[in-house]
Structure 1
Amino acid sequence: MKWNKRKRNTNKLSFWKRIRFKYKLSFINENTLEEVWSFRLSQLSVFISLGVFAFSLVAFTALIIIMTPIRNYLPGYLDVEVRKEIVQNALRADSLGRMIEIQNLYLKNVTGIISGTIELDSIREIDSLARIDADFEIPRGPEEEEYVKNFEQEEKYNLAVLNTNPLPVDGLFFYKPVNGMISSYYQADIHHFGVDIAAAPKESVLATLDGTVMYAGYDPNQGNVIQLQHKNGFVSVYKHNELLLKEPGEQVVAGEAIALVGNTGKLSTGPHLHFELWYNGKPVNPEDFIVF
């Protein structure tokens, strides 16, 4: 036993001695046989030098890809940027179209006034956002004035009338979470708080809004589930996934792939995505916000 242990120690020492043993590399003038230049190196120094060189090469290549337009050719990188640009261009086009309609209506009214075909007082509004005084055309009678006064007094402290749409969706664009057809609709009375979207297996599941992954895990009934917390109190839930691509705490952008469509969980009968949308702890119908 002592001999074997001594032998192993000797082998270790010989190994370290062998890789640390330095060799001399010399450059000799062929005509004069004079040593022009020489340096010493070992196997360990060669390995370290090659490792540093490989790491530097990888870091330099990654820096070039990140800092230059080459990154646009990476698979999956351009998808999110393209989607954002498409949405922004669509909003710009819609705004420009609306402004053109307003300008055309304005010019039409001016032309009609100049030509005498339209009376000045007949023009009510150009932009649909403008408001007309309620008593502009029909004066209110005494009974109507009394009714309006009583109604305004009763609703004076009713804050609900100040906001006809309690959901803060202004400026929000909800991405369709997956390409497919709805196989089961939102039915709160039977506790089906979402929509089932039949899709191809391993189809990319996209984040409907910018947000943070608040849960990503497996449930025996729901399969692989991922939940995202969005601004303004919205939470989106994606169930029965084949694979989850994000972990809790990660930030995601709208349209980014977060999972793959699957058929996991006891309640799943085929490849599909069960998608839910919640607001302030209460389920809402996703079809009210997304065109599937």
Structure 2
Amino acid sequence: MEKPKKKYKGKWRNHYRLVVLNDDTFEERFSLKLTRLNVFTVTLVSAVLLVGLTTFFIAFTPIREFIPGYSSSEVRNETTALLRETDSLKAKLALNEQQYSRIKMVLSGDITSEEYARIDSIAQVETTISLSDFAPSKEDSLLREEVAREDKYNLIEGAKARTNFVFFNPLKGKISNGYNPKEKHYGVDVTAAVNTPIKAAAAGTVIFSGWSAETGYTILLEHSYGLLTVYKHCGTLTKSQNDKVLAGEVIASVGNTGELTNGPHLHFELWSDGYALDPINFINFE
């Protein structure tokens, strides 16, 4: 058994000569003594060096940027920034979509059954409270009347009431048609002569100013605390979308535009967080 092992080990140490000859003259140009062990060692060392050099160049030189799957720190930072900006734009787009749906709902007068049920429930609660069987004293009655006079035209309650958010009368005139959510009439119709100035009920931003087939020239203002005022059937509009307006500033004039009108008037609506409110509870139009 020892002879085959020695013979096998001897093969690794057998000497060989690598000779390069001239093919025409058979002149020896180059020769090299080799053994199998030397060839294996040189090959292994060369492979290790090649792998090491490749790793070095990929890890510490810009050449890695040309390899698919690798990117520089600047590219990664830019990618991260773009992803954050994309998420921010998506959030803004979602908010714009909600605002667009809200504007579309106000313009068309289409409200879902759930929203109408909430409005109806609020009205029922207010009726129940107003018809409660409390028997206040004389002093309490006087105090109630005083508070009612002060808060009649103040929509904001609680801590917000301290801001004294009071609406400006957009148009003085006679109310020809009142607030009636059951008939999808979510505002009041105030009659006035053509070209009578229409004023902003409160300071805010114009979020829509344009033409609608049913409501004619229409302008929508967004105010603080989720409030929205709508002015329909105008004759002309003096403000454009994204304009900032002050309370009492002229934004339009009375007209008779749109399909759903039968004479010069202003159809005025007041919305709070997407729900219609009766304007006469907060504004004295006379």
Q: TM-score, structure 1 length as denominator? A: 0.43
Structure ranking higher on relative contact order (CA contacts 8 Å, 6+ apart)? 2
